[in-house]
Amino acid sequence: MPENLTLHDGHALPALGFGLYKVAPEDAAGVVEAGLAAGYRLVDGAELYGNETEAGHGIRRALDSGLERTAITVTSKAWGEGDQSRDATLRAFDASEHALGAGVGIDLYMIHWPRPARGEYPQAWRALVELQQQGRVRSIGVSNFTEEHLARIVDETGVVPVVNQVESHPWLPQHDLRAFHERHGIVTQAWSPLGRSRVLEDPEVVRIAREHGASPAQVIIRWHLQLGGAAIPKSSRPERLRENLDVDDLELTADDLVAIAALETGERTGTHPDDRQ
């Protein structure tokens, strides 16, 4: 089982979780139940994903089977399209909490995108600080923030997010942003950690996987963990959820890491943070 990272607020964050973007609502309860049964302890959700009610059902089924609520981390994110004011952000939190349902709740809440053209993300961040001060959420973080966005919210509020969830995979390792995070005690949590499955086909990744008797996904997940970051690969298939978690016995060599470092192209599979309106 991959280790926990320690957040600067003192709480633990599982280094490996699973994500729910593009998990069909009709599959979400089963996927969440399968993920938790496989041993994952972090479920990455969001208002945008349109499956929080069903994810909540899956979590509750796992709790009914004996899993302790305190053993898992449930995340959600405020989408913020068209309105990132304090009130809109608080309403988004209420809606996600309600959708997840009684007995579930949110442990880590994030701003999904900074939407810098709106200029409202500091207001959204103040809303998250308020939620944490009120004890409604344990930890607060952001997603898709650049150094500039991070510096602004820290300057204006003095509160440093515990996590910045950003696109990262071997094509886009984000070394500079990771170094900035490290200086400020922020955990880098990689979204699309498998490059939305496209990086799995990279011949170098396939070669390294073959040499270790592992799968390409396991090699990339291990790379994330050996970088010291967190990752939230998505799969709707129980056998892949198990495969992606089964990386404890894999150790990439220094040569493997050099070969993977050479894959950096800067190519994104998603939107650049400055371009999301």
Ligand X SMILES: NC(=O)C1=CN([C@@H]2O[C@H](COP(=O)(O)OP(=O)(O)OC[C@H]3O[C@@H](n4cnc5c(N)ncnc54)[C@H](OP(=O)(O)O)[C@@H]3O)[C@@H](O)[C@H]2O)C=CC1
Ligand Y SMILES: O=C(O)C(=O)[C@@H](O)[C@H](O)C(=O)CO
Bridge-based pairing state of the strands 230-231 and 163-167? unpaired
Where does 81-212 show beta strands of DSSP type E?
108-111, 139-143, 163-167, 187-191
CB closer to ligand Y, 100 vs 219: 100
Binding mask 3-32 for ligand Y (x = CB under 6 A): ------------------x-----------
Residue 196 binds which of ligand X, ligand Y, none (CB < 5-8 A, kind-dependent): ligand X
Bridge-based pairing state of the strands 73-78 and 108-111? parallel
Residues 64, 98, 133, CA angle at the centre, nearest 5°?
100
Binding flag, residue 21, ligand X (CB under 6 A): yes
Collapse the DSSP code of 183 into the 3-class scheme (helix H, G, I; strand E, B; otherwise coil) and give the result.
helix
CB closer to ligand Y, 143 vs 215: 143
Query: Angle of helix 254-261 relative to helix 216-226, nearest 10 degrees?
Result: 100
Query: Angle of helix 121-133 relative to helix 147-157, nearest 10 degrees?
Result: 50
Among 165, 168, 174, 188, binds ligand X (CB under 6 A): 165
Residues 274, 189, 121, CA angle at the centre, nearest 5°?
40
In Å, how far are 17, 138, 153, 205, 219 from 69, measured between CA atoms? Answer: 15, 13, 31, 36, 30
Binding flag, residue 270, ligand Y (CB under 6 A): yes
Helices within 144-233 (DSSP H only): 147-157, 175-184, 203-212, 216-226
Taking the complex as a whole, the smallest distance from the CB of residue 66 to ligand X amounts, in Å, to: 26
Binding flag, residue 193, ligand X (CB under 6 A): yes
Binding flag, residue 200, ligand X (CB under 6 A): yes
Contact positions with ligand X (CB under 6 A) in 131-160 = 143-144
Among 233, 247, 252, 260, binds ligand X (CB under 6 A): 233
Taking the complex as a whole, the smallest distance from the CB of residue 47 to ligand Y amounts, in Å, to: 10
In this structure, the number of other CB atoms found within 10 A of the CB of residue 43 comes to 29
Among 28, 46, 137, 187, binds ligand Y (CB under 6 A): 46
Residues marked as catalytic? 49
- Distance, in Å, from the CA atom of 168 to the CA atom of 188, rounded to the nearest integer, reads 9
Contact positions with ligand Y (CB under 6 A) in 226-255 = none
Among 8, 11, 61, 196, binds ligand X (CB under 6 A): 196
Contact positions with ligand Y (CB under 6 A) in 103-132 = 112
Binding flag, residue 54, ligand X (CB under 6 A): no
Binding flag, residue 271, ligand Y (CB under 6 A): yes
Catalog residues that contact ligand X under the rule CB under 6 A. Answer: 19-22, 44, 112, 143-144, 165, 191-197, 200, 215, 217, 232-237, 240, 243-244, 270
Catalog residues that contact ligand Y under the rule CB under 6 A. Answer: 21, 46, 48, 112, 270-271
